[in-house]
Amino acid sequence: MIGYNLRRGTLLTCIAFAVVFSACEKSPAESVPEAGEISGTITFTGDAPSAGSIFISIQTDWPPRGAPYASGSSFNYEFNEVAFGTYGAISISWEDPNDPNPATKDHVLGAYGGSAQSGFMDATSVTLTEENHELKNADFSADFKLAGPS
């Protein structure tokens, strides 16, 4: 009889712990994001160069000082799993295949919130946090005329 009560007490204690600990878990709707997402559409004007690559990128610094945080190559773009932080710009550029100089071969065609008149120095910075982890409709224009001769 003591053995039965001990097992029954142990079982009830285990059930009580399970109920308490399961009540403390976050539901999927309350989960905290681990990274951000940025998406939008780029509208092009002008004629595309006959050669070279087009890159869409998130720049940690603006004006750029090194490689971009991430890059892609589509008209409707989306960056997933973007680390939380502030980014100087989202930009699109053309890489001239005939220019071997890394300092001059990339030509900025457009930047989110920026204007060609300012050389895109007025690009809008983007901040992603746990509370503000999505930036949708980050649309901007790009002008192939800024690519220069191809």
| Tokens matching residue 116 | 């060609």
Report whether the peptide linkage leading into residue 63 is cis, meaning its omega lies within 30 degrees of zero: yes
Q: How far is CA 56 from CA 18, 24, 41, in A?
A: 49, 42, 11
Q: How far is CA 115 from CA 20, 77, 121, 123, in A?
A: 56, 20, 8, 7
Give residue-wise pLDDT tens across range 91-118.
999 999 999 998 899 999 999 999 999 9
Asked whether residue 62 is domain-assigned, the answer is: yes
Asked whether residue 95 is domain-assigned, the answer is: yes
Asked whether residue 2 is domain-assigned, the answer is: no
Asked whether residue 3 is domain-assigned, the answer is: no
pTM listed for this prediction? 0.71
Asked whether residue 22 is domain-assigned, the answer is: no
pLDDT recorded at residue 65: 74
Number of domains in the chain: 1
Asked whether residue 76 is domain-assigned, the answer is: yes
User: Does the structure show a pLDDT above 60 at 39?
Assistant: yes
From CA 38, how far away is CA 79, in angstroms rounded?
5
State the pLDDT confidence band at 52, using cuts at 50, 70 and 90: confident
SS3 11: helix
Give residue-wise pLDDT tens across range 7-24.
444 444 444 444 444 445
Strand 89-95, strand 106-111: pairing: antiparallel
Q: Which amino acid is at 12?
A: L
Asked whether residue 141 is domain-assigned, the answer is: yes
Can you give the residue range of the structural domain that contains 86? 30-147
Any idea what the CATH number is for the domain that residue 42 is in?
Answer: 2.60.40
Strand 76-82, strand 36-45: pairing: antiparallel
| Tokens matching residue 109 | 């065609």
